[in-house]
Amino acid sequence: MENDMPSFRESCLSGRVEIGLFSNIAHPAAVEVMALGKPDFICLDGEHSQIGRGALENLIRAGDVHRVPVMVRVPGKAPEALASVLDAGARGVMVPMVSTAAEAAAVVSACRYPPLGRRGVGPGRAAGYGYRIPDYLGAANRSVLVSIQVENAEGLANIDAIAAVEGIDVIFIGPGDLGVSLSALPEAERPTLEAAIDRIASVCREKGRVFGIFRPGPENIERYVSLGMRFFIMGSDAMLLTAAVERGMLMARAALAGGGAGEGASEPVL
């Protein structure tokens, strides 16, 4: 759905660093709270949360109200799952566990209307509930961001072919699953995981692909920027909420134990 919001896809492809958040809480207020923090985008996590199809439109609307692009990580590669979130007005999709060039090409085809792909035409929210279909078809092919995740040993082995697939906008590294797949998640095996990340980064640079990675926070982001990464997701609403509650409890207990406000404490402005 094109409106006066700047093009998310265009911004991503420009080489600008984009920093977003995952949303795992299936309520529009959670999206609005995150949007107030001014991330570059929000990614609704349909893979690892209980966000269902019925909630998607209002979650996307919440981002639209604050002019923050909302994309969706779908729970698989099925074309109907991709069409559903795009019909709801998502600015882009993220597809997990893409391991071959054929899978990557199928994702592109499912996200683009003919002649660029095989996405079916439907009267969803993005197309003005049917009234704007003729205008929407070309606009969607120009503006929908297509991102895939490379996050297992098979995807790593096939990264040259995957990165060569026409129509992939962003290659996103899932370090958790990649580390598990390579038996490299323990800290002692961290060099193996970092070498795999370096390999993916090298191929993406060679192929001219925008690429990025999940990080739980800003630590070590300079290393990944130096590799050429420009697309980051740093944690989620649930992770940030948990960390804030834990920090608040620790500060409160420290203040009670010491009779003071607690180191670094601050009170909300009311």
Contacts of 27 (CB under 8 A, 6+ apart): 55, 59
Q: What is the pLDDT of residue 133?
A: 94
Query: Could you list the active site residues?
Result: 48
Query: Environment class of residue 172 by beta-carbon count within 10 Å: exposed (0-12), middle (13-18) or buried (19+)?
Result: buried
67-85 confidence digits (pLDDT tens) = 999 999 999 999 999 999 9
pLDDT band at residue 143 using 50, 70 and 90 as cut-offs: very high
Interatomic CA distance for residues 120 and 96, integer angstroms: 21
Question: How much of the chain exceeds pLDDT 70, in percent?
Answer: 94
Identify which has the larger pLDDT, 266 or 87.
87
98-133 confidence digits (pLDDT tens) = 999 999 999 999 999 999 999 999 999 999 999 899
pTM for the predicted model, two decimal places: 0.92
Query: Environment class of residue 196 by beta-carbon count within 10 Å: exposed (0-12), middle (13-18) or buried (19+)?
Result: buried
171-187 confidence digits (pLDDT tens) = 999 999 999 999 998 88
Structure tokens at 36: 């107030």
Query: How much is the mean pLDDT over the chain?
Result: 94
Interatomic CA distance for residues 168 and 158, integer angstroms: 15
Q: Tell me the CATH class for 8-258.
A: alpha beta
Residue in 112, 20, 95, 96 with CA at minimum distance from that of residue 63: 20
Instruction: Indicate left, alpha or beta for 220 from its phi (over 0: left) and psi (-120 to 50: alpha).
Output: left
